[in-house]
Amino acid sequence: MRFLEDIIVKFGSVDRRVIFVLIGLAVLVPLLNPVDLAIRPTPSSQRVYDAVDSIPDNSNVLISFDYGPSTRPEIHPMTLGIMRHLLSQDRGHKIYITCLWPDGLYMAKDALKIINEEYDLVEHEDYVLLGFRPGNEAIVKGLASDLRKVFTVDAAQTPISEIPMMEGINNLNDFQFMFTGSAGYPGTFEWVQYGADPTGVPLSSGTTSIQVNEVMPYVQSGQLKGILAGMPGAAEYEKLIDTPGIAIQGMAAQSYGHVVIVLFIILGNLAYFITERRERKY
């Protein structure tokens, strides 16, 4: 027992680089040797799925790309998942893309590139990339009031008036559903406060893990129709629409990473209690 305690205490003073290597390996190894783990969708992800599923046919759906490369692994699979879900059943939905983050423009480009390879889409008839406008909440408020003052051209500089699917789209009230892939400010908060609440258009969101807890109360109050929480949330959505992608592939690495960190916490606390007790004794 004492020997074991000594090892634990000694491990407590190990160089932090050893910890870095361990966590690095815990994430890297499962990525190199993929392991299949069963994914269980949580109720809040299920609510997003149900909300998207219950949009009436031939709806106008607004997707906002409010994230950048730094949080891409978490949110990119969500926006892809939502688009795949919208397009998969051939229900005539049209997709309108806006970005509150400058980087969102590039994320949207990349996502559309993938989606265009999978589905037979026509730009300006099935989807339009309106692009980025700086201004955070002021942009959302502007869109809620008059979209055509914020966007007169799309990202490729095509005048809005020449885009067939923009006919009849004047503000957020002309959409039947909105989704924001949000990495912080501006994002979910702004869409709820200035977009969904004033107009009543149903809004769902996929957020980074870090932001989930802040916006969680919106989900319970119904201001948000469900939420996808971080990469595991994205994996759950991939499972729900039955299209495995990068999020599901990452779940083994995610699991092992968590396990290693929990072990660190437990070991660290054991070391702490053992030293405490020994100090009290002597």
- Residues 239-268 touching another protein, rule: CB under 8 A, are 246, 250-262, 264-265, 267-268
Contact 252, 37 (CB under 8 A): yes
- Scanning residues 142 to 161, which ones bind another protein (CB under 8 A)? 142, 144-146, 149-150, 152-153, 155-157, 159-161
CB of 189 to another protein, least distance (A): 8
CA end-to-end span of the chain? 18
Give yes or no for a contact between 67 and 209, defined as CB atoms under 8 angstroms apart: no
Residue 31 found at the interface with another protein (CB under 8 A): yes
Q: How would you classify the pairing of strands 227-229 and 203-207?
A: parallel
Q: What phi-psi label fits residue 131: left (phi over 0), alpha (psi between -120 and 50 degrees) or beta?
A: left
Does 7 sit near another protein (CB under 8 A)? Answer: no
Question: 92, 134, 164, 244: which one contacts another protein (CB under 8 A)?
Answer: 134
Interacting residue with another protein among 138, 165, 176, 243 (CB under 8 A)? 138
| 21 backbone dihedrals φ, ψ, rounded to 5° | -65, -45
Site membership for another protein, residue 182 (CB under 8 A): no
**Which residue among 5, 9, 37, 114 contacts another protein (CB under 8 A)?**
37
User: Do residues 263 and 257 make contact, with C-beta atoms less than 8 angstroms apart?
Assistant: no
Stretch that binds another protein, among 50-58, 59-67, 85-93, 219-227 (CB under 8 A): 219-227
**Which two structure tokens, joined as six digits, stand for 199?**
């107009």
Position 74 contacts another protein (CB under 8 A):
yes
Cα dihedral across residues 80, 82, 85, 88: positive or negative? negative
Rule CB under 8 A: is residue 229 a binding residue for another protein?
yes
